[in-house]
Amino acid sequence: MSDIQQVNDNQLSFEDFKNENGTAYWWASDLMNMLGYKDMKSFQRVLDRATKAFVSLGIPHYENIIAIQREMQDGNVQDFKLTRFACYLSVMNGDPKKVEVAQAQAYFAQQTRKFELFIQN
């Protein structure tokens, strides 16, 4: 799993962890680390709440949160490919007492505002 580190006094951003294979996705294990969760078991509750939000909205969660067995140094581990929307819902369902979660929520709020201004112009 990737650790977030500072590079040239600039902290890596959410976008730095994007992967692409025709569509953009983020690994849940990377997002978990970004948000200050120590293991996938505790982060799974966040993903479960995000999944419930997809279901409530009538959006297919299995297209946005894709279970994958990843081969890593610890052997095969359960991970998930997340769409940007799945990352957004996960961040919104994270523990806001964690400073990393609060920062990520602010990031998505700022990105939404930038998009709104872009659309208006």
pTM above the 0.95 mark? no
For residue 32, give the nearest of 73, 83, 90 by alpha carbon.
Answer: 90
State the pLDDT at residue 114: 76
pLDDT of 115 over the 80 cut: no
Axis crossing angle, helix 84-92 with helix 99-120, rounded to the nearest 10: 130
Task: Report pLDDT digits (tens) over 26-49.
Answer: 999 999 999 999 999 999 999 999
In this structure, the number of other CB atoms found within 10 A of the CB of residue 54 comes to: 18
For residue 44, give the nearest of 82, 85, 2 by alpha carbon.
Answer: 82
Task: Report pLDDT digits (tens) over 60-93.
Answer: 999 999 999 998 887 888 999 999 999 999 999 9
Q: Name the DSSP letter for residue 38.
A: -
Q: What is the mean pLDDT of residues 7-17?
A: 67
Q: Are 27 and 82 in contact (CB under 8 A)?
A: yes
